[in-house]
Amino acid sequence: MNVATLEGKQLDYWMYQHACGVLETKVSQAEFESGYAAGKFQFTEDKALLVDLMENYTINVQRLAGEWLASTSGHSYYADTPLVACIRLVVALTFGNTVKED
C-alpha cells in the first residue's frame, strides 16, 4: 500500500509501529486495537505531535495549492493537514514508500 494513501486508523497503526521501534518495544496488534478503542495511539488526531515530528526529523511544512506539504531533503508527502503529511513522511522514512497491507 502506498504511504501517500494511508489515512486514519491505518496510518495510526504504521505510526504505532514506528513508535515501537523508537521505544524498542514489541509491536502488538492486540495492544494497538485495544489501545485505539480506548482513545490511545490516535496519532493523526494528536496535534501536539506535530512540533515534535518537525523538530526530531527536521521536517519543513508549507501549504501549496490547497494541501499541506511535509518535506525533508529528498522526501516529501502531501495531505489535507500538516500533521497527517508529517506522519506520512515519518512512516515513509522508516518503512519505505510502500507498506504491506494489514
Residue 73 has pLDDT above 70, yes or no: yes
- Determine which helix (DSSP H) or strand (DSSP E) holds 36, and give its type and residue range: helix 29-37
Residue 76 dihedral angles phi and psi, to the nearest 5°: -155, 150
- In this prediction, residue 102 carries a pLDDT of 67
Residue with cell 478503542: 37
Q: Which residue has the cell 515519518?
A: 90
- Compute the distance between CA of residue 63 and CA of residue 102 in angstroms, rounded to an integer: 31
Contact 99, 17 (CB under 8 A): no
Question: For the segment 22-59, what is each residue's pLDDT rounded down to a tens digit?
Answer: 999 999 999 999 999 999 999 999 999 999 999 999 99
